[in-house]
Structure 1
Amino acid sequence: MDIKAAKFMEGFIRLTADAFKKGWHERNGGNLTYRVPASEVESVKDSLHEVKEWLPIGNTVPGLAGEYFLVTGSGKYMRNVELAPEENVALIKIDEKGENYGIVWGLVKGGRPTSELPTHLANHELKKKLTDGKNRIIYHAHPTNLIALTFVLPLNDKEFTRELWEMATEDPVIFPEGLGVVPWMVPGGKAIADASTKLMEKYRVVVWAHHGLFVCGDDFDEAFGLMDTVEKAAEICVKVRSMGGKKQTITKENFLDLAKEFNIDLNTDLLD
């Protein structure tokens, strides 16, 4: 089948379109990658071409050798993915050593995959291992309220998580492990990739201070849902603070009751 008619392309486009409408992707902000199963690559093989040039990833990911990824392009606008995916998205293949990538479809008017590719692939490699291959999405966006909170909340996992958990009863059900916080770093380099990967060993959501949010998921709905849930919690937090701050809140005992009732593995280390 034509790759543009594939179910995975439909899911990829839907996420980018919905996220742009949310206001998370000004100009060329944000990026999305999907690790494509071999069966899905096979189903669109007639749309693909041979790798014309192998280019360095920027780090080494041997655990992803031979894998294919659908990725947004560097400098491309999320709002244009739906209109012309072949111009704004690429399907890439990782070489047998996990050191280089090659384009096999897309970016027909030129360009390269997202500048955050080293960070995405490092985290894909980690999550592939930790989830026995179930995790397939890495997603980065610039949600407004979340970024605003990085200027006023302490930049540590415990206090940031606790503040957002308190904003809505179901938040700790959606991300019971909490979230990690990376201090400001230059985007796209090995340093932020390493810092994010370290936190992704225990979280599915990582805050990039004064920059945005970085999440993973088994599928498009899970990744989008995580981003949406955290940003809504941040929006509530911004509104509460603008109204003079909390007068009452969800207590530690309330969280423990919630965890028991919903049978969730709540990270209680973040409650004390």
Structure 2
Amino acid sequence: MTKFVDSSFVKNMREVTRESYLRYWDERNGGNVSYRLLAEEVEGFEDVSEVKATYELGFNASAIAGFYYLVTGTGRYFRNVYDRPTLDLGLVKISEDGKSYDVVWGFEDGGKPTSEFPSHLLSHIERLKVNPEQRVVFHCHPTNLIAMSFTQPLDERHLSRILWKMQAESIVVFPEGIGVIPYMTPGTNAIGEATAAKMSEFQAVLWPHHGLFASGVSLDETYGLVEVIEKAAMIFSQVGAQGGQILQEITDQELQEIADYFGQTPHAGFLDL
């Protein structure tokens, strides 16, 4: 039986997954999270030298060899993580050759990481090139953002501008805008590779008609990124519900002024100045 360890990282995962479920962003077994832990942070768990299971990755993850990830399980429901973290969460270590990973804590009923784990790791690898402090990848199904993928052109500039103009906070939180990939089958290495390619430029990537992949340096920051994107999409939906006629807006010049004030650089070419 896995020892229950309510470290700050497990506690954070329990709270955020529950909150995401309550917002209807992670119905049934939808949604997954991975959180890179440092070696000294793993010390709060029971002896992680005991390998419970080993699985092949199916791609080269040597760039993150030896790294530890706290990750949600495949087929598991976010609503259950809070009460049974040792079943629905697991701590894994990437092998030294980057070809496999060991389960060293959690998944006490024989579970394994989310089917999207390859997509997570590929995105972790890419975001580390952008920011060596990057530690979290969060996948969820924000309702209003998904709805936009049915009604709006799947164009990064177009979608980013809409989300920026819905609230002043947007351009501060995601000044690079939002990335978009074509609709693809989830759970495959192909969608992971496409997402990772976009992660070289964007912190958040839309999977049309499905959900969002977001990244950040902490779980709170990453969840906050999703919150801001979805809030902007919600405002856009409410504007449509009120007839869709926009009488006044945040102008491109005002967006640039907001970005300048907060020391952010908007994605090149996304503003008309």
| TM-score class, shorter | over 0.9
SS in 2 for 1:140: strand
SS in 1 for 2:151: coil
The alignment of Structure 1 onto Structure 2 pairs a total of residues equal to: 269
Q: How far apart, in 2, do the equivalents of 1:42 and 1:74 lie?
A: 25
- Other-structure match for 1:28: 29
Does the 8 A contact of 2:163 with 2:232 survive in 1?
yes
Amino-acid identity (%) = 42
- Other-structure match for 2:216: 217
State the 4+ residue runs in structure 1 displaced beyond 6 angstroms.
none
Q: How far apart, in 1, do the equivalents of 2:37 and 2:212 lie?
A: 23
Does the 8 A contact of 1:49 with 1:105 survive in 2?
no
Q: How far apart, in 2, do the equivalents of 1:77 and 1:36 lie?
A: 22
Does the 8 A contact of 2:46 with 2:105 survive in 1?
no
CA-CA distance at 1:116 after TM superposition: 0.2
- Other-structure match for 1:109: 109
Per-residue deviation, residues 51-74 of structure 1 (Å, max 9, x unmatched): 243211132111111111111000
- Distance of aligned partners of 1:49 and 1:38 in 2 relative to their CA distance in 1, 3 Å threshold: closer
SS in 2 for 1:108: coil
- Other-structure match for 1:12: 13
Q: How far apart, in 2, do the equivalents of 1:189 and 1:29 lie?
A: 15
TM-score normalised according to structure 2 size: 0.95
SS in 2 for 1:115: coil
- Other-structure match for 1:162: 161
1:22-61 aligned at under 5 Å gives the runs 22-46=23-47, 48=48, 50-61=50-61
Q: How far apart, in 2, do the equivalents of 1:58 and 1:230 lie?
A: 32
The AA in structure 2 aligned to 1:115 is S
The AA in structure 1 aligned to 2:139 is H
The AA in structure 1 aligned to 2:120 is H
CA-CA distance at 1:241 after TM superposition: 1.4
Q: How far apart, in 2, do the equivalents of 1:251 and 1:154 lie?
A: 21
SS in 1 for 2:108: coil
The AA in structure 1 aligned to 2:96 is E
Q: How far apart, in 1, do the equivalents of 2:150 and 2:137 lie?
A: 25
Q: How far apart, in 2, do the equivalents of 1:260 and 1:73 lie?
A: 41
The AA in structure 1 aligned to 2:125 is E
Per-residue deviation, residues 200-252 of structure 1 (Å, max 9, x unmatched): 10110111000001100101110110011101111111111122212221111
Does the 8 A contact of 1:116 with 1:189 survive in 2?
yes
The AA in structure 1 aligned to 2:166 is M
CA-CA distance at 1:5 after TM superposition: 2.2
Q: How far apart, in 2, do the equivalents of 1:52 and 1:174 lie?
A: 39
- Other-structure match for 1:88: 88
SS in 2 for 1:213: strand
- Other-structure match for 2:257: 257
Per-residue deviation, residues 122-151 of structure 1 (Å, max 9, x unmatched): 11112223212x111000001111111100
CA-CA distance at 1:43 after TM superposition: 2.9
Does the 8 A contact of 2:71 with 2:113 survive in 1?
yes
Q: How far apart, in 1, do the equivalents of 2:243 and 2:125 lie?
A: 44
- Distance of aligned partners of 1:14 and 1:231 in 2 relative to their CA distance in 1, 3 Å threshold: same
Q: How far apart, in 2, do the equivalents of 1:68 and 1:34 lie?
A: 8
Per-residue deviation, residues 61-104 of structure 1 (Å, max 9, x unmatched): 11111111111000000010001001111111111111111211
CA-CA distance at 1:49 after TM superposition: 5.4
CA-CA distance at 1:3 after TM superposition: 5.6
Q: How far apart, in 2, do the equivalents of 1:161 and 1:75 lie?
A: 32
Q: How far apart, in 2, do the equivalents of 1:104 and 1:237 lie?
A: 44
The AA in structure 2 aligned to 1:230 is I
Does the 8 A contact of 2:165 with 2:249 survive in 1?
yes
The AA in structure 2 aligned to 1:43 is G
CA-CA distance at 1:170 after TM superposition: 1.4
1:127-142 aligned at under 5 Å gives the runs 127-132=127-132, 134-142=133-141
